[in-house]
Amino acid sequence: MAKETKTNVEEKVNEPKKLEEFKNSEENKKIVAEDNGGVEKVLNGDDSSKDDSGELKEVKKESKSAVEKSKVSKVEKKDEMKVELEREYVVPLRKGSLKVPQYRRAKKAVKTLKEFLAKHMKIEDRDLRKVKVDIYLNNELWFKGIKKPVSKIKVKAVKKGGIVYAELAEVPEAVKFAKAWNEKRDTVADKEKVKAPKVAPAEKKTEEEKVEEKEDVKAGAEMDAKVEKAKVKTQKHTAQGSHLKKTMPVRKSLKK
Q: To the nearest whole number, what is the mean pLDDT of the chain?
A: 76
Q: What percent of the chain has pLDDT over 90?
A: 33
Where exactly are the structural domains of the chain? 16-60, 82-193
The answer on pLDDT for 172 being more than 50 is yes
Confidence tier at 60 by pLDDT (50, 70, 90): very low
Contact 179, 171 (CB under 8 A): yes
- pLDDT at position 194 is 73
- pLDDT at position 121 is 92
CA distance 6 to 84: 73
The superfamily (CATH) of domain 82-193 is Ribosomal protein L31 (3.10.440.10)
Q: What average pLDDT does range 184-205 have in this prediction?
A: 72
- pLDDT at position 69 is 60
Other Cβ atoms less than 10 A from the Cβ of 112: the count is 19
Q: Note the pLDDT tens digit of each residue in 95-137.
A: 999 999 999 999 999 999 999 999 999 998 999 999 999 999 9
Q: Note the pLDDT tens digit of each residue in 72-97.
A: 555 555 556 788 889 999 999 999 99
- pLDDT at position 243 is 52
Q: Which of residues 70 and 58 earns the better pLDDT score? A: 70
- pLDDT at position 24 is 75
- pLDDT at position 220 is 87
The answer on pLDDT for 51 being more than 60 is no
Sheet arrangement for strand 152-160: 83-92, 152-160, 163-168, 131-133
